[in-house]
């Protein structure tokens, strides 16, 4: 599949060619909007969108080793300058593998535990297979926050307080079990090729961690030549009483000292695992009562959903940083030079699986005219697909809207306007509060 902005070759001065693997909706939106990036690079896309049907059906027969071999053959003499991906499931790892085989700049994947380097920021954990036997399940140290070793978008992540809840959580049909195996197979295959046998953790496992509390945030940044640089801190706000994300806000409302501390912990975590030459997104909890910081997880890729937020506020898009690193150039980044003072990515969800209808063309035209720069993505599902999302995520995510405002109050006015004029039912009204209490503690 080619990115939407890729044009047929023309007779013109050659630009560096950038290979983009597994482009998703946020990638296509960013590439279409970023004229500077398009002007500097010829972007070529390969792979399928793991989160869009019917494209994602390809996972049922996808062979990652053949895919990598084909890319190496196709692009070994194509003047390729770099390989990138924001795909969380396995795209970043495949991009690193292809870049290494082509002798291009790339990421180094290192799954070294952070517990040894940052014990104070690392939750206690245990790892167990999906097919855990009853005796072992009963002996686990409940309560636990359980999630797959390898997954995306909080799939199958939830708190379990006793063995009966875990057993219900792990009840899958034969078809669901087949899908899970196919989802983790590419990652497993590459890890076996890259690491010694005793260092490979089979992704057909779950990790159970001690439950954490506090204000949940994201630290985004990049590592270049061994030095970690932070782009900013994004607040994660949940739907009340759930672990489902309601919105992501930038800039963060944490105290300045707290923001510096979560950035410090994120940088140390990246150093501890040996990560280099790539963008990262680190999810953390900051606890207001004592200032403690705990690491939720490290994502070795650009958080594509947040890229637009940074551009709105800072005036620079992280996709430019991604391209810089891919070709071995020192990234360029500025702060607070954007059009807006505040930005957020609002997530529209249903918790009863109700069918939703995408906005009409007339409504999209209204959105573009009334709120230029707003980015809308819809994820309308039906039937078994919607039911599986309800089971695996606990909610049905049917749309996201990225909005900018002069300040936070203006941001929410724009949000109210968008909700009032689009076709699908409005989510529960968000209450504007000027204190940190508005950031609900996480799981």
Q: In the chain, where are the structural domains located?
A: 17-101, 124-209, 215-438
CA nearest neighbour of 61 among 186, 175, 172 = 186
* 249 token code pair: 């806000």
Contact indicator for 285, 216 with CB cutoff of 8 Å = yes
What is the percent of the chain where pLDDT is above 90? 42
Q: In what order do the strands lie in the sheet with 293-299?
A: 293-299, 278-286, 215-224, 227-238, 245-250, 342-350, 396-405, 375-378
Determine the pLDDT at residue 197.
Answer: 57
Determine the pLDDT at residue 89.
Answer: 77
Q: Which residues of the chain have pLDDT under 50?
A: 1-9, 11, 106-113, 426-428, 430-443
Question: Is the fold of 124-209 the same as that of 215-438?
Answer: no
DSSP assignments along 74-122, one per residue: HHTTTTEEEEE---TTTHHHHHHHHHHHTT----------STTT-GGG-
Cα separation, 47 vs 27, in Å, equals 13
CA nearest neighbour of 235 among 376, 433, 424, 378 = 433
* 152 token code pair: 């995306």
Determine the pLDDT at residue 31.
Answer: 79
* 61 token code pair: 């027969």
Cα separation, 183 vs 181, in Å, equals 5
Cα angle 431, 433, 436 (rounded to 5 degrees) comes to 125
Cα separation, 57 vs 284, in Å, equals 33
Determine the pLDDT at residue 407.
Answer: 97
User: How long is the chain?
Assistant: 443
**pLDDT tens per residue, range 288-302:** 999 999 999 888 889
Determine the pLDDT at residue 200.
Answer: 55
Determine the pLDDT at residue 206.
Answer: 86
Q: Model-level pTM?
A: 0.82
Cβ neighbours of 290 (radius 10 Å): 6
Determine the pLDDT at residue 32.
Answer: 76
Determine the pLDDT at residue 52.
Answer: 77
DSSP, collapsed to helix, strand or coil, labels residue 306 as helix
Determine the pLDDT at residue 205.
Answer: 85
- 3.90.1150.10, 3.30.565.10, 3.30.70.270, 3.30.470.20: CATH of 215-438: 3.30.470.20
* 298 token code pair: 């490290």
Architecture of domain 124-209: 2-Layer Sandwich (3.30)
Contact indicator for 379, 386 with CB cutoff of 8 Å = no
Tell me phi and psi for residue 40, to 5 degrees: -95, -30
**pLDDT tens per residue, range 153-185:** 677 888 999 999 999 988 888 888 888 888 888
Determine the pLDDT at residue 439.
Answer: 42
């Amino acid at each position: 599949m080619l990115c939407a902005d890729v044009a047929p070759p023309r007779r013109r001065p050659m630009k560096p060619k950038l290979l983009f693997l597994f482009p998703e909706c946020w990638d296509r939106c960013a590439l279409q909007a970023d004229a500077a990036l398009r002007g500097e690079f010829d972007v070529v896309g390969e792979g399928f969108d793991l989160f869009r049907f019917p494209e994602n059906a390809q996972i049922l027969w996808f062979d990652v080793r053949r895919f990598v071999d084909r890319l190496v053959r196709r692009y070994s003499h194509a003047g390729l300058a770099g390989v990138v991906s924001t795909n969380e499931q396995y795209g970043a790892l495949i991009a690193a593998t292809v870049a290494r085989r082509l002798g291009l700049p790339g990421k180094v994947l290192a799954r070294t535990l952070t517990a040894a380097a940052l014990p104070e920021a690392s939750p206690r954990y245990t790892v167990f297979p999906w097919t855990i036997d009853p005796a072992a399940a009963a002996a686990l140290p409940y309560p636990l926050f359980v999630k797959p070793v390898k997954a995306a978008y909080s799939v199958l992540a939830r708190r379990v307080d006793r063995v009966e809840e875990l057993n219900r959580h792990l009840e899958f049909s034969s078809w669901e079990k087949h899908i899970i195996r196919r989802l983790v197979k590419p990652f497993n295959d590459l890890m076996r090729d890259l690491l010694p046998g005793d260092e490979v953790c089979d992704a057909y496992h779950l990790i159970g961690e001690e439950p954490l509390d506090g204000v949940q945030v994201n630290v985004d940044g990049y590592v270049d030549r061994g030095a970690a640089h932070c782009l900013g801190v994004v607040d994660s706000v949940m739907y009340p009483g759930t672990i489902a994300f309601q919105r992501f806000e930038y800039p963060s409302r944490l105290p300045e000292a707290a923001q510096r501390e979560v950035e410090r912990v994120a940088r140390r975590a990246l150093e501890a695992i040996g990560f280099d030459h790539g963008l990262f997104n680190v999810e953390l909890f900051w606890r207001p009562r004592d200032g403690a910081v705990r690491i939720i997880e490290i994502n070795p890729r650009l958080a594509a959903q947040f890229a637009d937020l940074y551009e709105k506020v800072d005036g620079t898009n992280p996709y430019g940083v991604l391209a810089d690193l891919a070709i071995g150039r020192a990234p360029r980044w500025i702060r607070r030079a954007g059009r807006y003072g505040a930005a957020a990515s609002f997530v529209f969800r249903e918790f009863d699986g109700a069918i939703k209808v995408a906005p009409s063309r007339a409504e999209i035209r209204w959105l573009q005219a009334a709120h230029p720069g707003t980015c809308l993505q819809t994820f309308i599902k039906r039937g078994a697909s919607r039911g599986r999302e309800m089971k695996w995520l606990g909610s049905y995510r049917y749309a996201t809207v990225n909005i900018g405002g002069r300040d936070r109050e203006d941001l929410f006015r724009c949000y109210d306007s968008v909700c009032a004029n689009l076709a699908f039912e409005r989510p529960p009204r968000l209450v504007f509060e000027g204190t940190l209490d508005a950031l609900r503690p996480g799981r």
